[in-house]
């Protein structure tokens, strides 16, 4: 049952990202819902579920959008593993924790994606990299914080500070 709900939620996040979120861009930058989803699942539900969510979200993005299958899987799994490494030190009841992790996850996502582009001689528009990361970090943090508060209230039954 847990696997079915994970697959369905990953598919739902992917569908919302591709049909709805991409139509609302701020200075040409859209929020990254699969990244927010991976950070939230890894933070709230632990290593195995976080890795499964990362794999499914990365696979959906890779199969339908990426030129090389596996790059989003690798990046999302790396983010889930990094969150799991610090799991014991993270205070999950504080609103600042998901905020910091989503911003850090966005930076890691773009850093690894830029490394991939560099090593495979893909074009990189260097003048806009910092602006894109900054705008996407803010968008992801705002949306992620709202979603995190909702999920914690809905599934765990308490309010965040």
For every residue of 88-124, DSSP letters joined together read: GG--TTSTHHHHHHHHHHHHHHHHHHHHHHHHTT---
pTM, entire model: 0.90
Q: Indicate whether 52 belongs to any domain.
A: yes
Q: Indicate whether 99 belongs to any domain.
A: yes
Q: What are phi and psi of 29, to 5 degrees?
A: -115, 130
For 123-147, write each residue's pLDDT tens digit. 777 778 888 899 999 999 999 999 8
Q: Indicate whether 95 belongs to any domain.
A: yes
Q: Indicate whether 127 belongs to any domain.
A: yes
Q: How many domains does the chain have?
A: 1
pLDDT reported for residue 1: 47
pLDDT reported for residue 123: 79
Average pLDDT per 10 consecutive residues for the chain, totaling 161 residues: 81 88 84 93 88 92 82 93 86 84 94 88 80 92 90 75 62
Which CATH number is 49's domain given? 1.10.1760
Among the listed residues 153, 137, 161, 154, the one whose alpha carbon sits nearest the alpha carbon of residue 39: 137
Q: What are phi and psi of 47, to 5 degrees?
A: -65, -55
Q: Indicate whether 16 belongs to any domain.
A: yes
Q: Indicate whether 45 belongs to any domain.
A: yes
Q: Indicate whether 39 belongs to any domain.
A: yes
Domain that holds residue 77: 2-156
DSSP 8-state assignment for residue 156: I
Please give the Cα distance from 15 to 107 (Å, whole number). Answer: 23
Q: Indicate whether 161 belongs to any domain.
A: no
């Amino acid at each position: 049952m847990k696997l079915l709900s994970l697959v369905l939620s990953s598919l739902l996040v992917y569908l919302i990202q591709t049909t709805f979120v991409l139509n609302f861009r701020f200075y040409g930058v859209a929020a990254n819902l699969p990244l927010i989803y991976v950070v939230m699942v890894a933070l709230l539900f632990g290593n195995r579920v976080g890795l499964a969510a990362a794999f499914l979200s990365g696979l959906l993005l890779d199969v339908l959008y990426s030129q090389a299958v596996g790059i989003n899987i690798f990046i999302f799994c790396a983010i889930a593993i990094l969150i799991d490494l610090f799991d014991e030190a993270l205070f999950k009841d504080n609103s600042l924790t998901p905020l910091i992790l989503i911003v850090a996850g966005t930076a890691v996502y773009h850093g690894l994606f830029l490394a991939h582009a560099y090593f495979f001689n893909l074009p990189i528009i260097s003048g806009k990299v910092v602006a894109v990361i900054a705008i996407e970090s803010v968008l992801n943090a705002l949306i992620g914080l709202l979603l995190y508060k909702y999920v914690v209230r809905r599934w765990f039954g308490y309010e965040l500070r």
